[in-house]
Amino acid sequence: MRRDSGFTLLEVMVAFVIAALASLVLYQVAFNASAQALTAAHYQEALVRAQSRLAALGPLTQLQPGRSAGDDGGGFSWEMSIIPEQSNGQITLYAVRLTERFGTRAVTLTTERVAPNP
C-alpha cells in the first residue's frame, strides 16, 4: 500500500471555505466599525452645530418666544423653541430647546436663558 503525501481535494476545499468565512467576518467587522465611526462623526457635528446656534443667543440678545426651524445644509436641520418661564418685569427667564437633526437621528440641547424684556 502506497501513501501519497499532500492534501486531498476535499481538504483543500474545506480550507478555502474556512478562509472565505473568516474573510467575510473580517469584512463585516470593518464595515460595521466604519459605519459606527461615521455615525459618531455625524453626532459630533450635530452637537457642535447645536452648541454654536445656542451660543449665538448671547446674554443681551432679545429672545422671541415661539418656534423656529431651518436647514443647515449637508443633511442637517434644526428646530428651536423658546418658552418664557418667569418674569420680574425687567428680565425674563426663557427655556430654550434646540434639536439638530441628521437623517433619522437627532441631538437635543436644553438650556435656560435670561434676557431683557422689550
Tens of pLDDT, residue by residue over 17-41, are 999 999 999 999 999 999 999 999 9
Q: Is the pLDDT score of 109 beyond 60? A: yes
For the segment 61-83, what is each residue's pLDDT rounded down to a tens digit? 788 999 999 998 899 999 999 99
pTM over the 0.75 mark: no
Digit-coded pLDDT (tens) for 46-57:
999 999 999 998
**Where in the chain are the domains?**
9-116
φ and ψ at residue 104, rounded to 5 degrees? -95, 0
Please, what's the b/e burial string for 2-30 (b: 16 or more CB within 10 A of its CB; e: otherwise)? eeeeeeeeeeeeeeeeeeeeeeeeeeeee
Place 1 in a pLDDT band, splitting at 50, 70 and 90. Answer: low
The residues pairing with 101 across neighbouring beta strands, listed in sequence order, are: 77, 106
